[in-house]
Amino acid sequence: MIQGRIEAVNSSTGETNGNPWTRWEFTIGGKKYSTFNADLAKHQVGDFVKIEGEMKGKYFNMKSMEKIDNPNSGAENVPVQKMSAPKADVQDQIARMSCLKSAVEFIGDESKPVEEVIGIAKEFFTYVKNGN
One domain for residues 66 and 46: yes
For 121, the domain range is 88-130
Q: What pLDDT, on the 0 to 100 scale, is given for residue 132? A: 66
Q: How far apart are CA 11 and CA 62, in angstroms?
A: 15
- The CATH code of the domain that includes 58 is 2.40.50
The structure's pTM equals 0.52
One domain for residues 66 and 106: no
Q: What is the total count of domains within the chain?
A: 2
Q: What pLDDT, on the 0 to 100 scale, is given for residue 9? A: 92
Q: How far apart are CA 62 and CA 107, in angstroms?
A: 46
One domain for residues 72 and 12: yes
Amino acid, res. 90: V
One domain for residues 71 and 105: no
One domain for residues 59 and 92: no
How confident is the prediction along the chain (132 residues), in pLDDT tens digits per residue? 888 999 999 999 999 999 999 999 888 888 888 888 888 888 889 999 999 988 877 777 788 999 988 766 544 444 444 555 566 678 888 888 898 889 888 888 777 788 888 889 899 988 888 876
Sign of the CA dihedral with 74 first, then 75, 81, and 83 last: positive
